[in-house]
Amino acid sequence: GEDVEQSLFLSVREGDSSVINCTYTDSSSTYLYWYKQEPGAGLQLLTYIFSNMDMKQDQRLTVLLNKKDKHLSLRIADTQTGDSAIYFCAETTGRRALTFGSGTRLQVQP
Amino acid sequence: NAGVTQTPKFRILKIGQSMTLQCTQDMNHNYMYWYRQDPGMGLKLIYYSVGAGITDKGEVPNGYNVSRSTTEDFPLRLELAAPSQTSVYFCASSWGQGVTEAFFGQGTRLTVV
């Protein structure tokens, strides 16, 4: 079955760039997402990318997709303390519900 | 806009008790989902629904039941609570699958003792 893996924790200093990585197993994955979860809250969509794209940029966020290696990354430029949260990678073929990774806890130190 | 509303936010159950987690959405979404989130384990799909009257099992359906009598509501029922069901439960909805965004409720933190 499909599987999505992420590292559990990342710590960066305020102002640095953060890179959160994700790998997935389903080669049919068509839509790939990054969701953000702040403490005590549900998940909110940050950005998404189609499998026919290599890169997507949205303000401070850059998503890179290596379809050959089934590797997705999220880069946050100029990381702020407000970016501290858990970031989930998720994917779907479009014919089933989202499959989520275990989440990466980003800690931003002042 | 209320979005996806879950109740209750917190609940403590004794082993063997039953309860229903409520979920309602006001976006007229066809698709609704129940996930559970265990620490360090990500979200696992329990049940989902593609429209009123249609439900299907996800990855971890054992010990749960659902119904979808209306587009808006998708309650999750625990019949005989077990400690293994201690988790945070999230309801979500979306217009479709694929590129459409899934909207999540705030979650229900359930502890079974």
pLDDT of A95 strictly over 80: no
What mean pLDDT, rounded, does chain B reach? 93
Structure tokens at B7: 């109740």
Chosen from A63, A89, A102 to mutate, greatest number of chain B CBs within 10 A: A102
Tens of pLDDT, residues B82-99: 999 999 999 999 988 766
Is A77 at the interface with chain B, CB within 8 A? no
Tell me if the bond preceding B39 is cis, omega within 30° of 0: no
CA–CA separation, A103 vs B9, rounded Å? 22
Q: What is the arithmetic mean of pLDDT over B7-30?
A: 96
Strands (E) across chain A are located at 4-6, 9-13, 18-24, 31-37, 43-50, 55-58, 61-66, 71-76, 85-92, 99-100, 104-109
Quote the pLDDT of residue A1.
60
CA distance B18 to chain A (A): 24
Q: How far is CA A74 from its chain centroid?
A: 5
Q: How far is CA B80 from its chain centroid?
A: 16
Q: Quick check: B14 and B113 in contact, CB under 8 A?
A: yes
CA–CA separation, A2 vs A24, rounded Å? 7
| Closest Cβ opposite residue B90 in set A8, A40, A42 | A42
